[in-house]
Amino acid sequence: MNSKIVLVVGPSGAGKDTLLRYAKEKLNENFSFVKRYITREADVNESNYYIDEYAFEILRHNGYFASSWNAHGNFYGIPKRFIKNGVNIISISRARIKDFENLYKDVYTLNISIPKEKLKERLIARGRESSKEIEQRLNRSYEKIQCNKLIEFDNSSPIDESKEKFLELLKSIEND
């Protein structure tokens, strides 16, 4: 299989889903936007498959996922069968990067970031978490990402500019 894996990571609220939605609209069939299984209903910004915890555990136990993790009280999983030829774009937890690097040869990690104040504004506007939970998120310290091919992407430009830069970046990975 001739696959490239692009792992999109970054704090919740950094704009990953907005960038991914735009890229999905604009890119051709050489790009596959891999959906996740999640044990919570997707919100309006996401396109994932809901699965209950019992079914999730059965699938995990039987090796269905290339990677799975627990974050913020929910379980997330990427099925192996969703990986296609071409460029596979996957939004994941930064703690699961090595799962993909152990399974696939050509893996890129895109770290999406924005300044803390903008992140706070976005988290408040999203309304998914309490003020205390938002403060806990903002006060987390992140260790340097350990991966083979890291690309930093600052998403603090005006959104239309960021979307175009994100498209250019994905196209450059396709041609790498």
Predicted pLDDT at 49:
87
Whole-model pTM: value is 0.84
Q: Domain residues for 165?
A: 3-175
How many structural domains does the chain have? 1
Whichever domain contains 55, its CATH number is 3.40.50.300
pLDDT class of 53 with cuts at 50, 70, 90: very high
The contacts of residue 54 (CB under 8 Å, 6+ apart) are none
Q: What tens digit of pLDDT does each residue of 127-176 get?
A: 777 788 767 766 765 668 899 999 999 999 998 999 999 999 999 999 98
Task: Give the whole-number percent of the chain exceeding pLDDT 70.
Answer: 91
Enter the tokens of residue 147: 């991966």
